[in-house]
Amino acid sequence: MSVARAVAKTLLQEKAVFLRPQEPFTWTSGIKSPVYCDNRLLISTVPARERIVSAFVEAIRPLGVDLIAGTATAGIPWAAWISQELKLPLVYVRSSSKEHGRKNAVEGAVVTGQKAVLIEDLISTGKSSIAAGEKLREAGVTVPVIMSIFTYDFPEVRTVFKEAGFALASLSNFEVLAQVAFEDQLLDAGSLSQVLNWKESVRFP
């Protein structure tokens, strides 16, 4: 079984993904989605999080990075577990700089010229992930890739990442998850078609 399918199965088994084609969720951006992903639920189950961390480690090890960075707050636990497995330094990136003290955007010790992978739990529109990557760059860190557990993999998001100069990688994605959900009878054929059509039709506000 591929990593993408195995991770999708984990998300579904742990009920970190909610499928509601007939009653869509509303994102902060205003987008109506038949699928809602809450990867924070995964941190509470040891076997599930071990599978996710192992998949991250295997993907990151060949990259030869010096540093593991996590986005605040959802990426922090994953980055911490990954950094421990790889025996690499850890930092995290604030959603906004502190307004007091040293006014840090990046917490932890960084050295100019270090190469980091930035860990995110979920990439939907990609705006917050790119903002975090930019903060690492401003601190003198090279970010060859931003990695997530799951991405909706919207074409517009791929374009935005490319324009910002970041590679995007994810352990699993929307289309794989939808197919696995169909095979596991969590979606019928009509609902599968509906959610796949939704993904292709989304336009950001």
At 32-82, the pLDDT tens digits run 999 999 999 999 999 999 999 999 999 999 999 999 999 999 999 999 999
Q: Is residue 101 part of a domain?
A: yes
Q: Is residue 45 part of a domain?
A: yes
Q: Is residue 205 part of a domain?
A: no
Q: Is residue 96 part of a domain?
A: yes
User: Looking at residue 196, which CATH number applies to its domain?
Assistant: 3.40.50.2020
Whether the CA torsion 185, 186, 192, 194 is positive or negative: it is: positive
The pLDDT value recorded for residue 101 is 45
Q: At what angle do helices 46-60 and 76-86 cross, to 10 degrees?
A: 60
List Cβ neighbours of 58 (8 Å cut-off, separation of 6 or more).
3
Biggest CA pair distance of the chain: 56
| 203 band by pLDDT with thresholds 50, 70 and 90 | confident
At 99-117, the pLDDT tens digits run 444 568 999 999 999 999 9
- Domain range holding 181? 3-200
Q: What is the pTM of this model?
A: 0.93
Residue 203 backbone dihedrals phi, psi, to 5 degrees: -125, 130
The pLDDT value recorded for residue 27 is 87
| 97 band by pLDDT with thresholds 50, 70 and 90 | low
Q: Is residue 23 part of a domain?
A: yes
Domain count, the chain: 1
Cβ count within 10 A of residue 61: 11
Which tokens belong to 112? 């100019």
Write the DSSP string, 11-51: HHHTT-EEE-TTS-EE-TTS-EESEEE-GGGGGG-HHHHHH
Three-state SS for 154?
Answer: coil
At 48-59, the pLDDT tens digits run 999 999 999 999
Q: Is residue 141 part of a domain?
A: yes
Residue 198 backbone dihedrals phi, psi, to 5 degrees: -60, -45
* CB-based contact 146:129 (threshold 8 Å): yes
- Smallest CA-to-CA distance from 32 within 174, 183, 199 is with 199
In what helix (H) or strand (E) does residue 53 lie, and over which residues does it extend? helix 46-60
**Can you list the pairs that 37-41 forms with residues at least 24 positions away whose Cβ atoms lie under 8 Å?**
37/11, 37/122, 37/150, 39/11, 39/74, 39/121, 39/122, 39/149, 39/150, 40/16, 40/74, 40/121, 41/14, 41/15, 41/16
Q: Is residue 116 part of a domain?
A: yes
Q: Among all chains, which residue has been given the structure tokens 């590679």?
A: 167
